[in-house]
Structure 1
Amino acid sequence: MMPEDKGSDAHAVIKSVNENGATEKEAAEHEAAEEAAENEVAHAAASSEESHSDHFHFRLKFVFDRLSVPFVIMTFVLCGVIAAFASRYLHRDEGFHRFFIYFSFFQLGMILSSVAGTIETLFFGWELVGLSSALLVAFFHDRPAPVANGLRVWAVYRIADAAFLVAALTLHHLSGSGDFDGIAGQGDWPNGTAVLSEGSALFVGCLLLFAAAGKSALVPFSGWLPRAMEGPTPSSAVFYGALSVHLGAFLLLRVSSLLDESLTLRILVILLGLITMVYATMVTRVQTDIKSSLAFSSLTQVSIIVVEIGFGLRYIALIHIIGHACLRTLQLIRAPSLLRDYNSMINAIGAYLPEARAGNVSPTMRSRLYRFAFDRGNLDSLLDEYVVRPFVLAFSWSDRMEQRWTTWLSGQSKSTDDSANEKAGADV
């Protein structure tokens, strides 16, 4: 073989090796690029899922802690007692089955509110309690008074629920989620520390205080509580003596970490409780029917519980709620037997009970205080004028607009106009 042939063969072999190496290198780079692309797609999908979960604010979550467990046990016990009592009390009543349907919605709402781990779960239970409350107030719908009072309760609840909803949206915006664990930060109830700033805690706390005032009939929403006694005695006992009236205080206990963050908010809670306590105590003394008297007595105790929450006595407030709920339930289901119990007491002691003394109050001041208590501080008229009436007018206007739009869309207005024109032509 010639030297030139050997050189050309070596050159060809080197060229072939270089080409094969370049091909393998390109293949490796292509595989690396494909793997990097797959990793990027997977990372993008993972980040998208994480972002979706981060922005998914509305979810159900349940917690069982030192606050929820006693409250849910109390709910089960008292609802069981009231259900057993109502099965006999409303036996053969026309609305027997309707009562237990509303009562089931109420119990479900109370349980959801008790074990709610997020503010949206609590809001869902809060709404069920409000809906069933208004329906049971208007239970005897063949009479105008229960229906009108049910409308009053519904109007107050709607305003309180609006404040609750704004507070929930604000919490989502500030903390990124509606979890009470995220709001309270480190520590279980009642030792949590709020993660919000003082100004944010004050704003959200005021909205929740407004919602609690509407649900627990605190001033200035106290007028609807005695009117809610238009419903059956079992619903009055479990709603406005035991459970529903304490739901506002439960809300304040659940977000008590916000109270620790803002001194101004604590002062507002204490002042509202003290004002309601004085108001309810005065009004209770001039009531002439037992259910209204028990309603304002319940309001007095609830206001004291609110004051305890404002002072940071959370365990005492929880024990107070449980004790007061059990006592008031017994008193309200025994209300129809009041005259019999009173006569039995008189026969037992052999004389009439002594009258209460007026105290060291001048006759002029006494008459003014009596007039204030007798008129219930004119809160009923203020409630009707500035809450119920605008509420009814707004919904009446919406109903008329809906009827006009549906009539126009269905073409009935045109046919009505044509018939009117034909009638006018016939008259001519």
Structure 2
Amino acid sequence: MTAESIMAFLAPVVLIAPAALLAVQGLAALLSRPLSEKHSALVTQVAVTAGLTAAIGVLALMLASGSRHVGIELGNWVSLPNDEFGEHFVFHLHFAFDRLSAPFTILSFLLVGTIGAFANRYLHREQGYGRFFLLYAVFLMGMVTAVLADTIETLFLGWELVGLSSALLVAYFHDRPAPVNNGQRVWAIYRFADAAFLMAAVALHHVTGAGDFASLTGQGPWPYGVATMAPENALFIGLLLLGAAAGKSALAPFCGWLPRAMEGPTPSSAVFYGALSVHLGVYLLLRVSPILELSPLLSAAVVMLGLVTAVYAAVVSRVQSDAKSMLAFASLTQVGIITVEIGLGFRYLALIHMIGHACLRTLQLLRTPSLLQDRNQIENAIGARLEENRGGSLLRLPPAVGRSVYRFAMQRGSLDALLDRYIVAPFIAAFSWCQRREEDWAALLSGERPGQAEQQPSDKRGAA
């Protein structure tokens, strides 16, 4: 057997393993016969181990044979003929292993497997145990799909699965209002990112005539591909993708949802917002990085967005009073730095930084519940109290500046309030006005007086 034939066998296993896990967990939920904790853990371990082993095998064979691209073609799921304007659309379900997707796929399986083993004990006898592992399977399927995607439509499919599972796990403790409200806010930000991503995909199809990344980055393997589109098209598509990445990775001004997402269970906080999901936006920027080279303005925008995010998160993290929020903003600082590295063209450095940061932050978030115990053990071992850091570098600023910066950090820059006032409120007002005009038009067509439908409920209440 040749290396190519072995890779052709192993590569589909990487996709089949999470799909089988999702099918088993989903079917059990649909039939109202949830798996026991023992069987759920066993199925999860088998699926993750199979996918991880296959992914490692593919990467090892790629390195041994010198191959830089291994494709998995599952055919055209949608194919629309040319219309009167000459437009043609084909949805390729195509996946590929390369120097970017292969290591990140291995990282995804490794961290998800670690979190699965941890959650099996952490959520023991928890009422939503089965629901957690079902969403966990959806997340794994979404991550593998997005990371291995070789077309922008396939990446969008995985992108949506990750977003759905993320928002639902933030609202995992749905008997309390705070997790539900925060889950809705995360979902709203994700909707913005999804809209920007979808517009970028449509624009890419219009400009290049296809959605595969080869047409976007040229025939060269990552990271040596060269995009060939016009600079103005690259700027437009790149800004849309940057908006999508900003929403998904909590870059400025969407930083506020990341600490809110910590309302979910500790295992999901670790794998979603410390390790994998929070890096999916910057992974998208890495995947389309050849576009950045076509427009210096776009590269500058990426660098500036990363710098603003890193500085903002570094300042705000200094005054957080709980470990999860502090780690959330610490993660955001590193994501901002990774974004700067991508904008400057350091692609391998950004990939290595992303993998290292994901591993470190996963460990820190998993150790968070036992942080006080760890601190007491250290103090008992050294026989003294540990020095407390109250404000850190903020204390070395001039008093007037320090107070302003401290107030800014305590209020988290009022980013959520600004978004609510200048984006959310006008958006709701505009569409509420459109809804009222639609109701008036419907009433006019039905022979009623416009506004009469709104008055009827109040009239009925008055009569009662």
TM score, norm. by length of structure 2: 0.74
Q: Secondary structure at the residue paired with 1:261?
A: coil
Question: Is the partner of 1:61 in helix, strand or coil?
Answer: strand
> Shift in Å at residue 349 of structure 1?
2.5
Matched, 1:76 2:109: yes
Secondary structure, counterpart of 1:186 in structure 2: coil
What is the identity, as a one-letter code, of the residue corresponding to 2:327?
L
Q: Indicate the residue corresponding to 2:410 in structure 1.
A: 374
Q: Aligned residue for 2:197?
A: 164
- The residue number in structure 1 matching 2:399 is 363
Q: 1:223 touches 1:383 (CA, 8 Å); kept in 2?
A: no
Match of 1:269 in 2: 302
Specify which of 177, 186, 206 is matched with residue 173 of structure 1. Answer: 206
Q: Does the 8 Å CA contact 2:111/2:271 hold for their aligned counterparts? A: yes
C-alpha distance 124-398 of structure 1, shift in aligned 2 (>3 A): farther
Q: Deviations over 1:66-116 (max 9, x none)?
A: 001011111111111111111111111111111111111111110000000
Structure 2 CA distance for aligned equivalents of residues 222 and 328 of structure 1: 17
On the 8 A contact 2:98/2:222 being kept in 1, the answer is yes
The worse-fitting range, judged by mean Cα deviation, of 241-250 and 181-190 is: 181-190
Q: Are the equivalent residues in 2 in contact too, given 1:243–1:325 (CA < 8 A)?
A: yes
Quote the offset at 1:202 in angstroms. 0.8
State the match for 1:19 in structure 2: none
Tell me, yes or no, if the aligned pair for 2:80 and 2:88 is still in contact at 8 Å.
no
For residues 252 and 134 of structure 1, what CA distance do their matches in structure 2 show? 22
Q: Which residue number corresponds to residue 229 of structure 1? A: 262
Map 1:22-421 → 2, pairs under 5 A? 55-356=88-389, 357-358=392-393, 360-389=396-425
C-alpha contact 2:81 2:89 (8 A) present in aligned 1: no
Shift of 1:384: 3.1
Amino acid at match of 1:352: R
Greater Cα shift, 166-175 or 391-400:
391-400
User: Secondary structure at 2:90's aligned position in 1?
Assistant: coil
Following TM superposition, by how much is the alpha carbon of 1:385 offset from its aligned partner in structure 2, in angstroms?
A: 3.2
Q: Deviations over 1:378-415 (max 9, x none)?
A: 01212333455566778889999999999xxxxxxxxx
Tell me the distance in 1 between the aligned counterparts of 2:420 and 2:175. 22
Output the amino acid matched with 2:322.
D
Aligned position for 1:20: none
1:103–1:390 distance in 2 versus 1, CA, 3 Å: farther
**1 CA distance for matches of 2:80 and 2:311?**
54
Q: Distance in 2 between matches of 1:205 and 1:399?
A: 33
Q: Describe the SS at the equivalent of 1:63.
A: strand
TM-superposed deviation, 1:59: 2.1
CA contact (8 A) 2:80 2:90 kept: no
Q: Is the 8 A contact 1:201 1:262 kept in 2?
A: yes
- After superposition, the Cα gap between the structure-2 partners of 1:312 and 1:403, relative to the gap in structure 1 and judged at 3 Å, is same
Q: Is the 8 A contact 1:237 1:333 kept in 2?
A: yes
Q: Secondary structure at the match of 1:57?
A: strand
Change (3 A) 1:330 1:394: farther
Identify if the C-alpha distance between structure 1 residues 145 and 393 changes in structure 2 by more than 3 Å, giving closer, same or farther. Answer: farther
1:405–1:244 CA distance, 2 compared to 1 (3 A): farther
Cα separation, 1, equivalents of 2:80 and 2:322: 60
Q: Which has the higher helix share?
A: 1
Quick check: 1:171–1:177 contact (8 Å CA) kept in 2?
yes
The alpha carbon displacement at 1:260 in A equals: 1.0
Native 8 Å contact 1:198 1:262 kept in 2: yes
% identity of equivalent residues: 63
Please list every run of 5 or more consecutive structure 1 residues that lacks an aligned counterpart in the other structure.
1-47, 407-416
2:23 is aligned to none
Measured against aligned partners, the alpha-carbon deviations of 1:110-158 in whole angstroms (never above 9, x if no partner) come to 0000000000100111011111111111111111111110111011110
| Runs of 5+ unmatched residues, structure 2 | 1-78, 443-452
Shift of 1:195: 1.4
Distance of aligned partners of 1:161 and 1:81 in 2 relative to their CA distance in 1, 3 Å threshold: same
State the one-letter code of the partner of 2:234: A
Is the contact between residue 80 and residue 89 of structure 2 (CA under 8 Å) also seen in structure 1? no
Question: 1 CA distance for matches of 2:80 and 2:292?
Answer: 35
**d(CA) in 1 for partners of 2:362 and 2:427?**
32
Q: Which amino acid aligns with 1:367?
A: R
Q: Confirm or deny: 8 A CA contact 2:89 2:205 kept in the other structure.
A: no
Question: Given residue 355 of structure 2, which amino acid in structure 1 is its aligned partner?
Answer: I
Shift of 1:259: 0.7
Query: Which structure has greater strand proportion?
Result: 2
Cα distance in 1 for residues equivalent to 2:312 and 2:158: 29
Shift in CA distance, 401/152, structure 1 to aligned 2, threshold 3 Å:
farther
Q: Offset at 1:51? A: 5.9
Are the structure 2 counterparts of residues 292 and 78 from structure 1 closer, same or farther at C-alpha, using a change threshold of 3 Å?
same
User: What is the CA deviation profile of residues 180-237 of structure 1, one whole-angstrom value per residue up to 9, with x for unaligned ones?
Assistant: 0110013110011001111111111111001100000000000000000011111100
Cα gap change, 1:391 to 1:339, in 2 (>3 Å): farther
Aligned length: 370
